[in-house]
Amino acid sequence: MGILLNDKIILITNCSTPLGKAIAQRLGFSGANLFVSDSNEQKLRKATHDLKELGLKVTGAVVDVAISDQRKQLFDEVEKKYGGLDVLVVNNPVNNIKGEISSNTKMEFDEIYSKYLTTPFKLCRDAVPLLSKSGKGGSVILMTSFAAYSPFEEIGLYSACATGLLGLTKAASLDLAKKNIRVNSVALGMMLNDSTGAFWSNEKDEARIQQLSTLIPLGRVPKSSECTALIEFLASSRSRYVTGENCVVNGGVSVRV
C-alpha cells in the first residue's frame, strides 16, 4: 500500500472489534505508527499480537475511554511512546441495546449516549493538545452508522444518538479548524461486523444476507473492512482540505441528496 501514512502517529480506540482490527491493519500497512486501546485486556493483547505478527508498528494500552483519568493516561502514554499524535480514530464498542425506542429505559438511554456521543466528544476534546502540535495537521475520524440518517426501529436509540454525532462532527470541525485539526465522520451502511448491533451486523443466515443484498444497489452486504480505504484517505495528507464531512459508505443506498 505504499507510504501514504508514513510514520504518522495514529490512535485507534476499541481496537478489539472486527472493525477496529481492520482499521488498524489497513493504517498499519500504510506506514502508520499505531497506538491502540481497548478496555478488555485479553482482547487487546490478542489484537496487538496479531498486528505485530503482520510486521506492523503497534503499541497498546488497556483503557476505558469513558473514564476521565484513564483517557488522560491514554494520551500521556501516546505522547511518551511517540512524542505526539497526528490522527485519532474513534472506533465504537459493539452496541448491545436494541428494541423499540418507546421501550428503552433511562439507563439504556444514558448508556447509549455516553458510549456513542459523550465519549467521542470527550476524546476529541482531550486529544486537542496533542493533535494541535502535529506538524502534519491533526485529523479526527469518528465512526458511526447510516442509521443516523435513516433510523431503524430495532436500534432506535442508537440511531438517534448517531444523528447527534453527525452534528458533533460539523460543530467540532468549525472550532478545531483554527488549530489545524480536521474532523470527519464515516457512516457505515449495512455491513457485517459494523458494531451497530443491528440485524445485519452479525447475520449468519446466508439466505437473509442474500435478501438484504437486493436492497443495496451494489448488490451485496460487505464486511466492514471495506470502509478502511476511506479512513486511510481521511487520515492522510491527501484529505488536507476535507473537514466537517459526514462520509457515507453504503453501497449506493439513498439516505441523503
Domains of the chain: 9-249 (3.40.50.720)
The pLDDT mean for the chain works out to 94
The pLDDT score that the predictor gives to residue 257 is: 64
Write out pLDDT tens, residues 9-44.
Answer: 999 999 999 999 999 999 999 999 999 999 999 999
Q: What is the mean pLDDT of residues 164-168?
A: 98
Q: 141: helix, coil or strand?
A: strand
pLDDT confidence of 237, banded at 50, 70, 90?
very high
Q: What is the mean pLDDT of residues 76-93?
A: 97
Judge contact between 144 and 162, C-beta under 8 A: yes
pLDDT confidence of 137, banded at 50, 70, 90?
very high
The single residue of 116, 149, 158, 241 carrying the catalytic annotation is 158
pLDDT confidence of 207, banded at 50, 70, 90?
confident
Query: Percent of the chain having pLDDT more than 70?
Result: 98
Closest to 154 measured CA to CA, from 91, 118, 115, 202: 202
- The CA distances from residue 12 to 97, 126, 128, 153, 155, in Å, are 23, 14, 15, 30, 25
pLDDT confidence of 53, banded at 50, 70, 90?
very high
Residue matched to cell numbers 489484537:
47
Does the pLDDT value for residue 65 go beyond 90? yes
Least confident range of 83-87, 137-141, 219-223: 219-223
Least confident range of 99-103, 229-233, 250-254: 250-254
Beta bridge pairs of residue 34: 10, 58
The pLDDT score that the predictor gives to residue 192 is: 86
pLDDT confidence of 3, banded at 50, 70, 90?
confident
The pLDDT score that the predictor gives to residue 190 is: 87
Judge contact between 196 and 202, C-beta under 8 A: no
The pLDDT score that the predictor gives to residue 196 is: 86
pLDDT confidence of 79, banded at 50, 70, 90?
very high
158 is catalytic: yes
The pLDDT score that the predictor gives to residue 136 is: 85
Does the pLDDT value for residue 2 go beyond 60? no
Grid cell listed for 237: 495528507
Q: What is the mean pLDDT of residues 141-145?
A: 96
175 membership: H or E segment, kind and range: helix 156-176
Distance between CA atoms of residues 22 and 136, nearest Å: 24
Does the pLDDT value for residue 1 go beyond 50? no
Least confident range of 127-141, 164-178, 181-195: 181-195
pLDDT confidence of 122, banded at 50, 70, 90?
very high
Grid cell listed for 21: 482490527
Amino acid letter for position 122: K
